[in-house]
């Protein structure tokens, strides 16, 4: 079998018939592996080898050629594809790195909506490869459709077909596609911001993420937060409050015996920017409780929660991005990222029982 494999590989290289993408070579390789496992070659080359019952049992193993559908494409786009079915599991090139032990058939059919055209046993796959000079497709109609598939694969947008695919959760973005240059820059910027390393995100990246929030190919990941209030907890000096919320010491605090108390909302109207004006993004949250955790004051400072209207500012909601590996460490922060300066409409001030220190 090793000599046969070498012969076929050399023939494929010479004829240069490998299809764009690796789904057909992957499926054919699985057929070779199955054949080797369930066929015992004869000692005498003039005799027949021993075929295990599983060898040609399609309920146990089959190579399938057909189409899968990118249902997120507008309109949905059928693509020529090859995959392997082994009982209730599906194996294909797109999922081999993230799901090397296979994907449940029910999930695969729901996610990719495959339409089988032809099914082959491992023996039939090897015979077709030898007779027709390639790993597939071996059907004339599918081969003609391959041209459409190749054209579609070249239509990928600025972030490719999948976003951060090797870090993506189960779904259409999961895979092994490499980041585009722009994609890598966006990942680095988001990671650096969440880690507290840098909030200096270049304007072109902010504009790109806003644009992607409107693109059907990417707006399931890049989502703008556009309703409800946004909160930012931090500590500021009393001089800061004197400038931005005059009369803040006369604010009302609910009657309480708690040692720390939050004031009622003080109406204000000013543009918030990071203390370091070169920073282009800031951390906000739709959760008042989360914001109050960040509004605890240190010595000589005052804890505050700033309040802004999401509809009149620009916030990137991280709820879907938190599902990606390495970004999920920060999900508890429930962050929405403020782009640029943020117009603040209210402030709550924290004080300890007995007044400010």
Task: Give 257-301 pLDDT, tens digit per residue.
Answer: 667 889 999 999 999 987 666 789 999 999 999 999 998 766 678
pLDDT of residue 247: 87
What pLDDT is stored for residue 15 in this prediction? Answer: 34
Instruction: Give the pLDDT band of residue 38 (cuts 50, 70, 90).
Output: very high
pLDDT, mean of residues 174-201? 90
Q: Is the pLDDT of residue 237 over 50?
A: yes
Q: Taking residues 110-138, what's their average pLDDT?
A: 89
Lowest-pLDDT choice from 18-22, 80-84, 208-212: 18-22
Give dist(CA 159, CA 267) in Å, integer: 42
Global pTM exceeds 0.85: no
Residue 3 makes CB contacts below 8 A (sequence gap 6+) with none
10 Å CB burial of residue 59 (0-12, 13-18, 19+) is exposed
Within a 10 A sphere around the Cβ of 201, how many other Cβ atoms? 22
Across the chain, what does the average pLDDT equal?
85
SS3 string, 150-169, reads: HHHHCCCECCECCCCHHHCC
Residues 6+ apart with CB under 8 A from 9: none
pLDDT at 118: 94
pLDDT on residue 242: 95
pLDDT at 1 over 50: no
Of 127, 146, 176, nearest in space to 24 by CA: 146
Q: pLDDT band at residue 21, thresholds of 50, 70 and 90?
A: low
Cα 233 from Cα 305, distance rounded (Å): 4
**Which of these ranges, 122-126, 243-247, 269-273, 295-299, has the smallest mean pLDDT?**
295-299
The Cα–Cα gap between 109 and 121 comes to: 20
Asked if pLDDT for residue 74 goes beyond 60, the answer is no
- Region of poorest pLDDT, from 84-88, 195-199, 339-343, 353-357: 353-357
CA 11 – CA 8 distance, rounded (Å) = 5
């Amino acid at each position: 079998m090793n000599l046969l494999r070498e012969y076929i590989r050399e023939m494929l290289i010479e004829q240069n018939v490998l299809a764009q993408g690796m789904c057909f070579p992957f499926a054919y390789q699985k057929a070779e592996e199955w054949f080797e496992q369930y066929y015992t070659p004869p000692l005498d080359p003039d005799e027949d080898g021993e075929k295990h019952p599983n060898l040609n049992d399609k309920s146990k193993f089959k190579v399938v050629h057909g189409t899968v559908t990118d249902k997120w494409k507008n309109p949905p786009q059928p693509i020529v594809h090859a995959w392997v079915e082994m009982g209730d599991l599906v194996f294909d090139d797109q999922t081999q790195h993230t799901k090397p032990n296979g994907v449940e058939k029910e999930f695969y059919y729901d996610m990719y909506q495959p339409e089988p055209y032809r099914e082959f046993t491992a023996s039939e796959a090897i015979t077709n490869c030898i007779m027709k000079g390639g790993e597939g497709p071996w059907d004339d109609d599918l081969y003609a459709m391959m041209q459409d598939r190749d054209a579609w694969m070249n239509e990928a947008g600025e972030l490719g077909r999948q976003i951060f695919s090797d870090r993506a959760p189960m779904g259409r973005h999961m895979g092994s596609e490499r980041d585009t240059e722009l994609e890598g820059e966006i990942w680095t910027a988001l990671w650096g911001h969440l880690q507290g390393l840098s909030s200096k995100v270049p304007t072109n990246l902010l504009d790109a993420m806003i644009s992607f929030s409107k693109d059907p190919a990417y707006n399931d990941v890049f989502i703008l937060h556009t309703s409800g209030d946004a909160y930012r907890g931090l500590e500021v000096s009393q001089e800061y409050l004197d400038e931005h919320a005059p009369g803040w010491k006369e604010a009302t605090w609910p009657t309480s015996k708690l040692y720390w108390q939050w004031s009622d909302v003080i109406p204000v109207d000013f543009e918030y920017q990071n203390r370091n004006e070169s920073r282009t993004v800031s951390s906000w949250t739709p959760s008042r409780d989360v914001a109050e955790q960040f509004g605890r004051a240190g010595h000589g400072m005052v804890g505050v929660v700033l309040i802004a209207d999401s509809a009149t500012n620009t916030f990137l909601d991280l709820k879907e991005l938190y599902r990606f590996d390495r970004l999920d460490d920060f999900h508890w922060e429930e962050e929405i990222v403020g782009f640029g300066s943020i117009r603040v409409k209210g402030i709550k001030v924290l004080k300890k029982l007995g007044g400010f220190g």
